[in-house]
Amino acid sequence: MYFSYCFLLLLQLLVQLKLPFNLQNNIWYYRAPELIFGATKYTTAINICSRYRFRC
């Protein structure tokens, strides 16, 4: 199986931060970093940004 460089960087970040990681659920869609780190007050701007996610 081929893993891209971005995937390996993401995996390293998740391991260092000790965040839960599930290949099927967490890698194929984008969540704003604010939501990953537990933000509770946010606007629709986060949803708009997630639509135009970064691609490697």
Per-residue pLDDT reduced to its tens digit, 1-42: 455 677 777 777 767 776 666 555 545 456 667 677 777 777
Amino acid identity of residue 11, one-letter, is: L
Its pTM stands at 0.30
Q: In this structure, are residues 50 and 30 in contact, taking their beta carbons and an 8 Å threshold?
A: yes
Structure tokens at 46: 């986060």
